[in-house]
Amino acid sequence: MTRLIQGVTITGERRAIPAGAVDDLRAALRGTLLVAGDPGYEEARRVWNGMIDRRPALIAQCAGIADVARAVQFARAYDLLIAVRGGGHSFPGHSTCDGGFVIDLSPMRTIQVDPQARRARAEGGVLWGELDRATQQHGLAVTGGQVSHTGIAGLTLGGGIGWLMREHGLTVDSLLSADVVSADGAQLRASAEENPELFWALRGGGGNFGIVTEFEYRLHPVGPMLYGGLIGYPFADAVKVLRDARDYLATAPEALSATLVLLRSPEGHPLAGIAVCYTGDPAGAEPAIAPLRRLDTPVMEQLGPMPYVAVQQMIDQVAVPGLRYYMRSNLLNALDEEMIGIAAEHFARCPSPQSIVIFVQMGGAVARVSPEATAFPHRQAAYSFTALSIWTDPNADEENVAWIKSLWTDLRPKLPNAVYVNELSGDEGEARLRAAYGPAYERLAALKRRYDPANVFRLNQNIAPPA
Ligand SMILES: Cc1cc2nc3c(=O)[nH]c(=O)nc-3n(C[C@H](O)[C@H](O)[C@H](O)COP(=O)(O)OP(=O)(O)OC[C@H]3O[C@@H](n4cnc5c(N)ncnc54)[C@H](O)[C@@H]3O)c2cc1C
């Protein structure tokens, strides 16, 4: 069925929206309700991935928990598809939709830091760069993503991989509580004491269980000055350099984190890069990094002391919002020389100079948490692999998507059945979804039936509630 409200085509809903209901909702919200044609609608419907171009019927830019609850109740009353938006960085564009209702938390940016208790509370629209700046004011931090314009909400709910994880665990390992608007619009608190099963599910189960309006994190002393940067080696030596780096990193101190990367220099030359961050005592930084500087003759080196907030922005420019992106990712038990070779061989033929292949080193504190303790089960992963096609011209979509698919065809047979839920694309199918939740899937499915039996929150890496 297709009908119009206020000039907006809404497709697929089953219940009639009475005249004036949208106006009533607009009046009830503290935030802003947008429909097509409203000033700000075009900007508000944009998400990070420029490949995603959808037109929601309604966008509620929520000003607080009451707005979120009202928006959920409205969407349910009229069977509107809900998309939940934190930072808008979902790779497959799950935070927007055609014809449905985007519940946008981006105006909700309040952060409160309690330096004595080493805790922070942050609302669901906060971005990592904002939380990092607020916590670093007190020499504290929580593991956050490696790109500062990513949202805390989606990233935390999937697990949270970042520079601090080898010392302080995944983001979810520092999550203390979450305020949640449930599928029926009720307000719940989830923590080890309150709704502990929901709390477990939120730590890796993504956006399946409710809308988190506020996160509470345990903070750790970090920086403010750390040691970090990038070493670039000739691409011709990529396999040897990345293999030798892997060998050194296997026994390197946990204060050292590294991301191995195939990239192109600003002049367009392919490079084998090693991005590093050392979070320990500054005196230990140079000796810890020295073996990585001697792997070959570097063609570039940008290393040195830098504030943690700068480390967190080191690769911001690689993945700016609005470019076109397509990806494949997998968790690795070990980084084999053969995998590096396949990745390098494909990278040499990559059609876009902006594209990258990365291997993020995991381990350390991540691996010390039991696989059952949270809904992120892949605790023993040694690396997270991601190949990201990045380009600007819509006419080049086909060749850039094809490049990833061809790399994936060659690499996939070598890889274990495990992927980080936040790095799944939208076109990978049920088996890969299962690979993301791994052994946590059945427990998550039972909790989905309890907390969202109607699958109201389904625009995500969806766990369908069992019948
Ligand atoms: C450039 C870039 C860099 C990245 N780097 C890292 C990294 O270093 N480490 C890492 O772990 N991941 C990383 N990711 C992946 C990232 O974790 C996911 O893309 C994540 O979903 C982004 O969160 P968001 O709030 O910005 O996304 P959004 O698109 O706003 O949300 C994504 C999904 O999360 C859910 N969601 C969002 N907000 C809420 C909420 N308040 N309550 C309930 N559900 C919600 C919804 O299902 C939504 O569809 C990166 C992604 C990008 C694009």
pLDDT at position 395 is 98
Ligand 1 atom 45: residue of nearest CA: 207
- Domains in the chain: ranges and CATH: 2-104 (3.30.43.10), 111-222 (3.30.465.10), 225-430 (3.40.462.20)
pLDDT tens digits for the chain (467 residues)? 334 444 444 544 446 788 799 999 999 999 999 999 999 999 999 999 999 999 999 999 999 999 999 999 999 999 999 999 999 999 999 999 999 999 999 999 999 999 999 999 999 999 999 999 999 999 999 999 999 999 999 999 999 999 999 999 999 999 999 999 999 999 999 999 999 999 999 999 999 999 999 999 999 999 999 999 999 999 999 999 999 999 999 999 999 999 999 999 988 999 999 999 999 988 999 999 999 999 999 999 999 999 999 999 999 999 999 999 999 999 999 999 999 999 999 999 999 999 999 999 999 999 999 999 999 999 999 999 999 999 999 999 999 999 999 999 999 999 999 999 999 999 999 999 999 999 999 999 999 999 999 999 999 999 999 88
> What's the pLDDT at 198?
98
- For residue 9, the model assigns a pLDDT of 45
How close is the Cα of 7 to the center of ligand 1, in Å? 31
Binding-site residues, ligand 1, Cβ < 6 A: 48, 84-91, 94-95, 105, 124, 145-147, 150-151, 153-155, 157-158, 160-162, 206-207, 211-212, 319, 422, 459-460
pLDDT of residue 399: 98
- pLDDT computed for residue 15 by the predictor: 60
pTM of the model: 0.96
If DSSP states are collapsed to H, E and C, what string results for the chain?
A: CEEEECCEEEECCCCCCCCCHHHHHHHHCCCEEECCCCCCHHHHCCCCCCCCCCCCCEEEECCCHHHHHHHHHHHHHCCCCEEEECCCCCCCCCCCCCCCEEEECCCCCCEEEECCCCEEEEECCCEHHHHHHHHHCCCEECCCCCCCCCEHHHHHHHCCCCCCHHHHCCHHHHEEEEEEECCCCCEEEEECCCCHHHHHHHCCCHHHCCEEEEEEEECEECCCEEEEEEEEEEHHHHHHHHHHHHHHHCCCCCCEEEEEEEEECCCCCEEEEEEEEECCCHHHHHHHHHHHHCCCCCCEEEEEEEEHHHHCCCCHHHHCCCCEEEEEEEEECCCCHHHHHHHHHHHCCCCCCCCEEEEEECCCHHHHCCCCCCCCCCCCCCEEEEEEEEECCHHHHHHHHHHHHHHHHHHHHHCCCCCCHHHCCCCCCHHHHHHHHHHHHHHHHHHHHHHCCCCCCCCCCCCCCCC
Å from CA of 461 to ligand 1 middle: 11
Q: How confident is the model at residue 266, as a pLDDT?
A: 87
Testing ligand 1's pocket by substitution, the residue of 84, 361, 463 carrying the most ligand atoms inside 8 A of its CB is 84
Q: How far is the CA of 251 from the centre of ligand 1 (A)?
A: 31
